Structure 1
């Protein structure tokens, strides 16, 4: 079996390289990680598809198929991207929680001073 890159036209190779670069660029920023993770959440990747009703289950399975395509593309670009996204999002969420707590604490202190 030949390698996929051997079967690509020059135009397809450029497109593939540009998509890979776009994924890397997107995941290089916190904003990009937030957006991509949100997209995966909207694709129901982190939810159970089965709900007891066939139409809803099939709909969720379709959403998950789209999410799996995104994850497969991440793996194609670099197998470390998706696991890194998950660990980075855990850290980002922890920072968000700390910032939210600090804001709430400041608001309480301001109310106590009044």
Structure 2
């Protein structure tokens, strides 16, 4: 099916699609890029319930989620493993963030006055 779609694209569209795919791969190759992609999905309310009990708010949340689903679909179109890898990478990134925060908190703790006597 993708071959049929490629046959229908103009040369400019083929180049644009290839460049967009390359750009996503470049972004995805960096831990910072994965962090940004995941943040974008969070902003799209992908990981929250859209139902709010109020139609306008629910519709707004559904619109956000639609944008998030488009981003996930684009990741899947480029490489079906991108989104699952993103979720796994974010788990590791969050664990590293927690460890870094703990280390920083330990460094910032005032020294125990009991040692001075």
The alignment's TM-score, normalised by the length of structure 2, stands at 0.91
Residue 103 of structure 2 corresponds to residue 96 of structure 1: no
Determine if the alignment matches structure 1 residue 53 to structure 2 residue 50: no
Structure 2 counterpart SS, 1:3? helix
Residues of 1 paired with 2:19 and 2:59: CA distance?
Answer: 33
How far off its partner does 1:5 sit? 1.0
1:105 counterpart residue number: 106
The DSSP-based 3-state class of the residue aligned with 1:15 is: helix
- Paired residue for 2:77? 76
Structure 2: stretches of 5+ with no match in the other structure: none
1:91 is displaced (CA, Å) by: 0.3
Tell me, in whole angstroms, the C-alpha distance in 1 between the residues paired with 2:57 and 2:7.
Answer: 41
TM-score after normalising by structure 1: 0.93
Greater Cα shift, 3-12 or 16-25 = 3-12
The count of residues paired between Structure 1 and Structure 2 equals 112
Aligned counterpart, 1:9? 10
SS in 1 for 2:26: helix
**RMSD between aligned residues:** 1.3
